[in-house]
């Protein structure tokens, strides 16, 4: 089983590398694959031919996303789109790790995957862009609004 991982040098990337020690992991740090470059994404992911891809690359500084919204849309939105296009070419499912920032926080109970989204900051908007691009019918993997700290707590 070959699993590709974008954002491999980030916090989640490191946690995934620890958890997936029993599969052939193909790590893509930013210097190996800049997800904002569609041609590069297509070429590198096609060459790697993974069975599925975990997309953990993102611009995650929530405050900086407010002052640099174009960068947030480019990295988080268009970057996810580029990865989804590249994976679609080789019929490789994409696992997108989204964020609770796609919600407005007004629900008086825990959110589930089917709740209405309503981002209230640029980071949330950019992550919702990513969800929209990755949940095309062509992506057989879909997405997962996962609770990331649960993964990090694994030993």
Ligand X SMILES: NC(=O)c1ccc[n+]([C@@H]2O[C@H](COP(=O)([O-])OP(=O)(O)OC[C@H]3O[C@@H](n4cnc5c(N)ncnc54)[C@H](OP(=O)(O)O)[C@@H]3O)[C@@H](O)[C@H]2O)c1
41 makes contact with ligand X (CB under 6 A): no
Q: Binding ligand X by CB under 6 A: which of 3, 4, 7, 72?
A: 7
Closest residue to ligand X: CB criterion: 10
- Dihedral over alpha carbons 6, 16, 18, 1 (to 10 degrees): -80
Q: Binding ligand X by CB under 6 A: which of 99, 125, 131, 143?
A: 99
Q: What is the rounded end-to-end Cα distance, in angstroms, of the chain?
A: 22
Q: Binding ligand X by CB under 6 A: which of 38, 62, 85, 148?
A: 148
Stretch that binds ligand X, among 32-40, 82-90, 109-117, 136-144 (CB under 6 A): 32-40
Kindly list the distances between the CA atom of residue 10 and the CA atoms of 107, 108, 134, 137, in Å, as whole numbers in the listed order.
30, 32, 20, 29
HSE-CB for 23 with a 13 A CA cutoff: 18
Of residues 108-147, those binding ligand X (CB under 6 A): 127
Catalytic residues: 123
């Amino acid at each position: 089983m070959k699993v590709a991982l974008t954002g491999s040098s980030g916090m989640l990337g490191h946690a995934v590398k620890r958890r997936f020690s029993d599969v052939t992991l193909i790590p893509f740090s930013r210097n190996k694959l800049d997800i904002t470059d569609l041609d590069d994404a297509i070429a590198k992911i096609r060459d790697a031919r993974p069975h599925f891809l975990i997309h953990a690359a993102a611009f995650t500084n929530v405050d900086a996303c407010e002052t640099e919204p174009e960068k947030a849309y480019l990295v988080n939105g268009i970057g996810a789109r580029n990865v989804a296009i590249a994976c679609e070419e080789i019929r490789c499912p994409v696992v997108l790790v989204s964020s609770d920032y796609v919600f407005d926080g007004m629900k008086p109970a825990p959110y589930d995957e089917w709740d209405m989204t309503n981002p209230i900051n640029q980071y949330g908007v950019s992550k919702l862009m990513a969800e929209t691009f990755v949940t095309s019918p062509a992506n057989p993997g879909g997405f997962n609004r996962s609770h990331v700290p649960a993964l990090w707590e694994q030993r």
